[in-house]
Amino acid sequence: MTDDTHKLGLIAANEFNLDEEAAREAAFERASAHLLPATDEAVHAVDDANATLAAELDRVRDVVSDARLDDDRDLATPRGSVEPPATRRGTVPVVEVFHSIQGEGMRSGEPATFLRLAGCNLRCTWCDTSYSWNPEGVRAATATTLADLAGQVRERAVVLTGGEPMLHRRRMPELLTQLRAGGAEHITAETNATIFDASLVAEVDLWSLSPKLRASGETPDPATIRKYLAAAPVTGRGQLMFVVTSQGDYDDMWELLATVGARLPEPILVQPDGTRQDYDVALRELTDRVLADDGVFDGRQRRAMLRVTPQVHRVIWGAVARGV
């Protein structure tokens, strides 16, 4: 092969390569012309799908939230009574808001704002606030925004009561935050100690545990009481308070405390049935019962562990007064 022939061959090969590259570029441009609109359409479709998915997730969250509220209402309505009103996020069913003095417990006599929430999972025979869970009271309950509740705080101390406030435990974190922002410096949660949520323990200043003894027609829950006492610091964070209506109640109380088997916050508070018309007689009977107790509990004299605490509001305003 001559040099000229070789050169001609190289030129032809280069031209072929250039033609092939140009052909590839042309093919790519033609494909792009068809693919780019399809790609844009696909991107828009994905965006639309994401928006639809986000809306559906919001809807599912609302459904789940409502289902949880339904679960709470089921807890609140044993024996077929009327359910507390359904509430959306950011609200709770409120029976009444009032300003009074704390009538029982370690902070007895302290001015406080009381928030009484609707619904209870128990039906104590001697309940003095049945309007918080009976059909008439529940129907009258108002779904109130947490911000509106916080705006009604007038005293530095706030008491969450019921009914059973822990039925609304899923609203509690936001409610507690709003109450603090509204000026609450000390928050007490009154509970029958049958519902526990560990995430709330440190958010409340005082857990007032009032387990119900058998004479109430209900059964106490030692396991839940034990959880409260184990989670809340014994000093200053929790108090145990019992309504004692008879010697049977008194004996049941000590049996329950032995079953709980946890370190107990002291003093343990006892009070008579606040619905009795002869409240002074009931108070004397309980006092005599405590003073006559020579029993021993965990190596200690039992009566030294107790404090007889009359309901101050009951003494001042009587058995039938509301909003006190």
The answer to whether residues 217 and 125 touch, using CB atoms and an 8 Å cutoff, is: yes
pLDDT of residue 215: 86
Predicted TM-score (pTM) of the model is 0.72
CB 125 within 8 A of CB 215: yes
Tell me the C-alpha distance between 112 and 98, whole Å: 9
Tell whether the model's pLDDT for residue 159 goes beyond 50.
Answer: yes
pLDDT at 16 over 60: no
Q: Which pLDDT value is given to residue 33? A: 62
Compute how many other C-beta atoms are within 10 angstroms of the C-beta atom of residue 17. Answer: 10
Whole-angstrom distance, CA of residue 318 vs CA of residue 316? 6
Query: What would the mean pLDDT of 221-237 be, rounded to a whole number?
Result: 82
pLDDT in tens, 36-54: 555 556 556 656 666 555 5
DSSP state of 94: E
DSSP 97-142: EEEEE--SSTTTT-EEEEEEES--S---TT-S-GGGTSHHHHHH-E
Find, among 82, 155, 88, 77, the residue nearest to 115 by Cα: 155
CA 144 from centroid of its chain's CA atoms: 16
* pLDDT value at 4 more than 90: no
Please indicate whether residue 277 or residue 302 has the higher confidence score (pLDDT).
302
**pLDDT tens track for 188-208:** 999 999 999 999 999 999 999
Our CA angle for 73, 103, 315, nearest 5°, is 120
